[in-house]
Amino acid sequence: MDSAAAGPDADAVTNHHQDGRAGIDAGLVRRLVADQFPQWAALPITPVKIDGWDNRTYRLGDELTVRLPTAASYATAIEKEHHWLPILAPQLPYPIPTAVGIGEPGHGYPHRWAIRRWIPGATATPETVDLDEFAHSVATFILALQRCDATGGPLPGIHSFQRGGPPSYYHSATMAALAELKDRIDASLALEVWETALASSWVRPPVWFHADLAHGNLLVENGRLSAVIDFGTSGVGDPACELAVAYTFFSGRAREVFRSAVQQDAGTWARGRGWALWKALITSDFRVIDEVLADHLTQTR
């Protein structure tokens, strides 16, 4: 994340739940910054209160963040974001992270890492936003991103965990999860949802997608969408993965507002349900599974 629900918490440096994951702690960050960006060596370094899993994020003073991937598979996004964020930012209706610098491995830390501008805001929750308005705003962002020139953009691959490609990449994992959960969900309906997703394909030119519009990456101020962060899994290809937010964050009327505003065809929605179902199955997120299955019935019966 490039922001969080609150500012830095000095006490969190000694809290092992907030600091030290993947061998990364404030001391390591301080040494890396001092060696490679000495102009900021005196700035305080504190972990954010709400952090992501792919990266550890630290405040660097009041205006900057340090973002360190927790594994090699996540480090592939560093250069991608550094190159593309400045190109995408002027074309989007909401602020996105500003790339400031790239750090090199050091002090036993094996990956490249990033310095970004801090973006103020709280992470979105259903209780802190007007859901209908928020649904429309997220859809507006998605459409604006799809209008960005995709020429030369990063095609689906390891950097996006295959988002932007066909959901069939995760067929084996989906089948295994269905077998494991067959006594806890409507497995036959879930299989129908998955097979419907596989039967559809994106046949148009690739478009930009964010791929991780989770609530933690959607920032709000005064109850409204104010910024979108964490483009680590972004790329160009099939935007169906973008629609997972319809099931992870929206429901009822808000989902219908989102569906109308985002203007995607039935095949893209079918694949979007497939992406949401795959992730919900492998994480045993039964609420999202139920939402996907119910929406499939509503849209296909």
- At residue 51 the predicted structure's pLDDT band, cuts being 50, 70 and 90, is confident
CATH 3.30.200.20 at 21-119, yes or no: yes
Per-domain residue ranges for the chain?
Answer: 21-119, 123-300
Considering the entire predicted model, what is its pTM?
A: 0.90
Output 205 or 7, whichever has higher pLDDT.
205
- At residue 19 the predicted structure's pLDDT band, cuts being 50, 70 and 90, is low
Residue 268 has pLDDT above 90, yes or no: yes
Residues 191-195, mean pLDDT to the nearest whole number: 98
Give the whole-angstrom CA distance, residue 118 versus residue 122.
Answer: 12
Closest residue by Cα to residue 232 from 300, 151, 158: 158
pLDDT at 269: 98
Residue 12 has pLDDT above 60, yes or no: no
CATH of domain 123-300: 3.90.1200.10
71-102 confidence digits (pLDDT tens): 999 999 999 999 999 999 999 999 999 999 99
Give the whole-angstrom CA distance, residue 67 versus residue 69.
Answer: 7
Average pLDDT, the chain: 92
Count the Cβ atoms, other than its own, within 10 Å of residue 50. 15
Output 28 or 4, whichever has higher pLDDT.
28
124-149 confidence digits (pLDDT tens): 999 999 999 999 999 999 999 999 99
153-183 confidence digits (pLDDT tens): 999 999 999 999 999 999 999 999 999 999 9
- At residue 284 the predicted structure's pLDDT band, cuts being 50, 70 and 90, is very high
pLDDT at 20: 61
228-267 confidence digits (pLDDT tens): 999 999 999 999 999 999 999 999 999 999 999 999 999 9
